[in-house]
């Protein structure tokens, strides 16, 4: 079972651990810090399993100060490096959506 640490910023609830992200139109999910103060993060790859819907994906290496648009499951070199890795996902269609897994891998 995969647990996803995240909060939905539009609902203002702290969903600390759960297995599926359910989105309504335009809703955004933000992760808590995935890696903090363990050196400078220069690249990462976000892997999301989409069950339904259409999404925009973002990563931040600086604690959410700068969100950089990424492509699902493609390595991304950060423009703004930092030491606080986080992800953000926004449902981008006029519908709902579901993501069953989110991982950030290969970061360095």
* Count of Cβ atoms closer than 10 Å to residue 107 Cβ: 19
∠21-102-105 over CA atoms, to 5°? 170
For the whole model, what pTM was predicted? 0.83
The pLDDT tens digits for 60-106 are 999 999 999 999 999 999 999 999 999 999 999 878 889 888 889 89
Query: CA dist 5 to 2, 14, 18, 95, Å?
Result: 10, 9, 7, 24
Structural domains of the chain sorted by starting position, each given as residue range(s) with its CATH number in brackets: 6-105 (2.60.120)
């Amino acid at each position: 079972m995969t647990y996803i640490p995240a909060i939905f910023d539009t609902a203002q609830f702290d969903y600390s651990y759960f297995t599926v992200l359910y989105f309504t139109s335009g809703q955004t999910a933000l992760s808590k810090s995935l890696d903090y103060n363990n050196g400078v993060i220069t690249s990462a790859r976000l892997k999301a399993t989409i069950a339904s819907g259409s999404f925009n994906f973002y990563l931040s290496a600086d604690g959410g100060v700068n969100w950089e648009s990424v492509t699902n499951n493609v390595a991304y070199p950060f423009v703004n490096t930092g030491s606080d890795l986080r992800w953000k996902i926004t449902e981008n269609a006029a519908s709902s959506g579901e993501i069953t897994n989110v991982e950030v891998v290969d970061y360095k």
